[in-house]
Structure 1
Amino acid sequence: MKLAILHYHLNRGGVSQAILNHLHSLATLPADQRPEEVALLYSGRKEDWPASVWRRSEWEHDPPFDVRLLAIPELEYDSSIHCEGQTLADAISQMLTGIGMTPDTTIVHSHNFSLGKNASLPDALRVLAKHGYRQLLQVHDFAEDFRPSNYRHLMRATGSQRPAELAERLYPSAEGIHYATLNGRDHKILLGAGVDPERLHLLSNPVIEFHGLPPRDEARPRVCKQLGVSDQTRLVIYPVRGIRRKNIGELLLYSALSGPEVCHAVTLAPANPAERISFDDWCELAEELSLPCQLGIGDPPSRQGHGVEFYDALAASDAVITTSVAEGFGMVFLEAWLVDRPLIGRNLGRITSDFTAHGLRLEGLSDQLLVPGDWFDLAAAREEVLDLHRWACRDFGMPAPETPPEDWSYGPDVDFASLPRRFQAEVIRHAAANPEQARASMEELNPGLAERLSGAAAERQPVQANAECVRKQFSPQAVGRRLAEIYSGVLSDAAGGEVGSLPDGEHILRSFLRLDRLHPVRLEP
């Protein structure tokens, strides 16, 4: 078997790291189960991609298979109002056949093909399927999941008039076309859309050990000095880029409630200028209120950071925190244990249920963080949320509901993540101005919050047991075996026949575009 892995770019980050980890997972397989060779098809962008995928691995001096990087400029993000599916398919096909990757021996594994970054890609994959290329289409993120700009681009470029029409273009169905999801939630959604259960696979990201993590007693004084805090300060690290869906305001609220003895920190600022607006607002609010909360500590001083190395930040921390409201896989829920740190913050049950089913215990997380409705204008916040949902529905081409569902409620107390950003700022200001009273009120509303704020919740967590669970269930070896199983099924399937569409692709949009799934911070500038 030969393997072609396709993604828009190989820049450092989520999907690119997943691809790199998949290569390491495949390398753990017996020689007769590994691919003969792998081609990475991308646009040409590969910022921070390693010079060798085997660098600093056990295969550095004896690569298990060849990996070629093949740049196809037509895979770049596009802003065109027209689809050029045939042109892109020709470019991919010519590249593959030129290196001997023919349809009878090759699997094309495409990542985030329907996200709307390149509107021609779904049509191109249909053409490749007609040429006989067997495919695994892996979804990390959906355009339908409150990404209106991506969705509008797809609608315009494909000339689709209705969501159902667009879904027919995005999601092909045929022998030889299989789908993979990162989590059970998305697996269930694609089943509902009509993907053949025999051609739908759950494929977790592998979790790689943090080799080279410095000793805590070396990293801690170094990081505390860089941050300008005492060695006695409790460090709670949020190891992410501070994009909107990471819900940075909630980190500020934790900081306001925890007091000066605790420093909360986000490792990196967003790279995307559109995401920078809200991040800068949170930076200004933290400074205005003199909160012991530092955002972007890993960025260089020239970009208002402290130059803290990522591994140093993890090694120096007392706990890891997550306040995210949306994840495709949720790596932080697994990685914290491999750096021997407890995890506190917000649970995403639709994502973490896959992990807890394997025995992971997430006792430091809660599904919501309730705030009293009398700390802000509850009626105004409720109306803004409803207006935002109506706008989102119209933006996605769906009818806007006149009234909210009967089972939806908003108040008297509200989950912080359900508030528009200006009301979140009001809550943070209230907590900073009245810390003891605010803490008492919120601890009454949120069982377990007192332990999370004091550090007691962190101290009681089963860190070692969770680390063993992660190493057993989500190791490169486990994911390698899963990849081999999936690829074997794809390769044994027939191919080259008629290519249709999922019976109810619009089900995907209906599943995501729900009022109870709306978090305003994801849609506000």
Structure 2
Amino acid sequence: MRIVIVHYHFFPGGVTSAVRSSLLAMKSAGRAENIEFVLLCGHERGIGELTELLRCTTLDIKGFVHPEIFYRQEIWPSREAFEDEAIRISELLLGYGKKETIFWVHNPTIGKNPALTRALIIAAQKAEKESLPYCFLYHIHDFPECGRPNNLKYLLNCYPGGGLKILYPESLNTFFICINSSDRGLLIQSGVPESKVFFLPNAISVNYEAASVTSTVHVDSALEKYAEKHGYVFKKGSPWWLMPIRLIRRKNALEAFFLEVLDEGMQILITLDANSQPEYPYANAVKDVIRSEKASGMVGFGAELVGKAFPFDELILASRAIVTTSLMEGFGFAFLEGPIHGKPVIGRNLPHVTKDFGQLGLPLDDLYDSFYVPVSENSRRQLKEKFQIFALHYSKLAGVRPLAVDRYLSKIDEIYEN
């Protein structure tokens, strides 16, 4: 059997971690025997390191780069041009089929490349028509329908006059994986047959050895050098709170730095910088504020230091706590990485994600569900108007039901009228 794992890229981050941990878990459980693994992505960064790491575990794995699989922001000049590219990508994918093959595709509906989304549908239809022994697994980490209106708009309007009409195909050889039970419920409620939607939480591996004083000093020294090189303030010897995230807007990263006010001397460390064009303006603004205000902490050291100067487990064990202030998560690694290393988690609870963890006995009592800040009447009115304009814009997207818009506006009224 061959398993072809497809993603836009294998940069450091949540999806790459999930892919790595899933394959290591399969290997550990003895479920990788007689399986040939193939990694496909659209950018060369990261795939070499990931392939080599997995190959060192004796997995039979190879990696290949095809730029047409990577992110795309521009619309196609015509429907014909869009379909032509989607067909080319589908043929590329099917070219990796070999006897029994599973195409395990991560986040194919997120709206980063509509041609890939369409190509998977075409490939599945062709495989079904020709009775090829191929299966297509859509591994959903995030939905474009959940807080990503620009992504959804791009999918529905990726060429003049139209775009994709089907994101979640009904072909017999296509199935779906959700990383939390809430998302699985959403897909089923939307009409996907229950038998075709699987709940597969992300695998996590951990080194349970306690951090020694020597290792803590080692991490401290490496972080100090990074801070000096990149213009951040880092107080060697002082404790820090770790945010093992990528610097994107929904992570609410800047707000986390306000926590320093609550604990004088505490520092905030954010592991990964932004890695795509739409994310850069917010990320650059956050970094500018951190540097200009001389806040204690830093951003983006993970790509340079983690796995090279020190392992990720050692970084967590040397931290005082894990912080999460995110507005929205798919799986929520941060909620687990603290407790399994014996570290507390500080920040905002996301019940649609953490209910799965709570059922396993993870402590969630110290997290807050919401945090209301006093705002003047004039500011409340201005904010409310902005959200109403957003709702009007969002309501024009195909597939957005009036009931959903009304429910959103009702919630806005509830927040800003109280």
Match of residue 296 from structure 1: 299
**Partner SS state of residue 109, structure 2:** coil
Shift of 1:196: 1.1
**Partner of residue 77, structure 1:** 71
1:242 paired to 2:247: yes
**Cα deviations by residue, 1:211-251 (Å, 9 ceiling, x for unpaired):** 898534542453685554263x4422212222111102321
Letter of the 1:74 counterpart: E
Distance 1:73 1:235, change over 3 A: closer
Partners of 1:356 and 1:107 lie apart in 2 by 32
Q: In the alignment, residue 147 of structure 2 is paired with which amino acid? A: F
Which secondary structure state, in structure 1, belongs to the residue aligned with residue 198 of structure 2? strand
Matched, 1:252 2:251: no
**Superposition map of 1:409-424 within 5 A:** 409-411=414-416
**Matched-pair contact (CA < 8 Å) for 2:387–2:412:** no
Secondary structure, aligned partner of 2:158: helix
1:348 is matched with 350
In our comparison, the structure showing a higher alpha carbon Rg is: 1
Q: Which moved more, 1:315-324 or 1:260-269?
A: 260-269
**Contact 1:298–1:309 (CA under 8 A) maintained in structure 2:** no
Q: Deviations over 1:382-436 (max 9, x none)?
A: 22222233233335674775893279502466xxxxxxxxxxxxxxxxxxxxxxx
Amino acid at match of 1:47: R
Q: Is 1:325 matched with 2:324?
A: no
Query: Structure 1: any 5+ residue segments left out of the alignment?
Result: 302-306, 414-525
**Inter-partner Cα distance in structure 2 for 1:48 and 1:371:** 41
Q: Amino acid of the residue matched to residue 343 of structure 1?
A: V
Whether contact under 8 Å (1:247, 1:325) holds in the other structure is: yes
Structure-to-structure mapping, 1:131-210, within 5 angstroms: 131-132=127-128, 133-157=134-158, 161=162, 166=164, 168-210=165-207
Q: Does the 8 Å contact 1:297/1:308 carry over to 2?
A: no
Structure 1 length as normaliser, TM-score?
0.66
Q: How far apart, CA to CA, are the structure 1 residues paired with 2:50 and 2:240?
A: 34
Q: Which amino acid aligns with 1:77?
A: Y
Q: Any residues of structure 2 matched to 1:31-180 within 5 Å, and which?
A: 34-43=33-42, 45-51=43-49, 53=51, 55=53, 60=56, 63=58, 65-78=59-72, 79-81=74-76, 82-83=82-83, 84-96=85-97, 101-102=98-99, 105-130=100-125, 131-132=127-128, 133-157=134-158, 161=162, 166=164, 168-180=165-177
Q: Deviations over 1:350-408 (max 9, x none)?
A: 11111111221122211111212349822222222222332333356747758932795
AA in 2 matched with 1:255: E
- What secondary structure, in the 3-state scheme, does the structure 1 residue paired with 2:88 have? helix
For the structure 1 residues 217 and 21, does the alpha-carbon distance in structure 2 shift closer, same or farther, using more than 3 Å as the test?
same
CA-CA distance at 1:26 after TM superposition: 1.4
Give 1:347 shift: 0.8
Question: Match of 1:364?
Answer: 366
Write the distance in 2 (CA, Å) between the matches of 1:14 and 1:230: 28
* RCO comparison, higher one (Cα < 8 Å, 6+): 1
Which TM-score applies when normalising by structure 2? Answer: 0.81
1:364-403 matched pairs, under 5 angstroms: 364-374=366-376, 377-394=379-396, 398=400
Taking the aligned partners of 1:3 and 1:296, their CA distance within structure 2 comes to 35
Distance 2:302 2:138 in 1: 34
In 2, Cα distance between the equivalents of 1:313 and 1:276? 25
Mapped partners of 2:34, 2:401: distance in 1: 47
1:149 alignment partner AA: N
**Distance in 1 (alpha carbons) for counterparts of 2:223 and 2:7:** 39
Aligned to 2:25: 25
Report if aligned partners of 1:267, 1:310 keep a CA contact under 8 Å in 2.
no
Distance in 1 of aligned mates of 2:303 and 2:204: 27
What is the match of residue 269 of structure 2? 265
Q: Is the 8 A contact 2:384 2:413 kept in 1?
A: no
Are 2:262 and 1:279 aligned?
A: no
* Cα distance in 1 between the residues matched to 2:51 and 2:303: 26
Query: 2:349, 2:369 within 8 Å by CA — same for their partners in 1?
Result: yes
Distance 1:60 1:356 in 2: 35
Contact 1:119 1:154 in 2 (8 A): yes
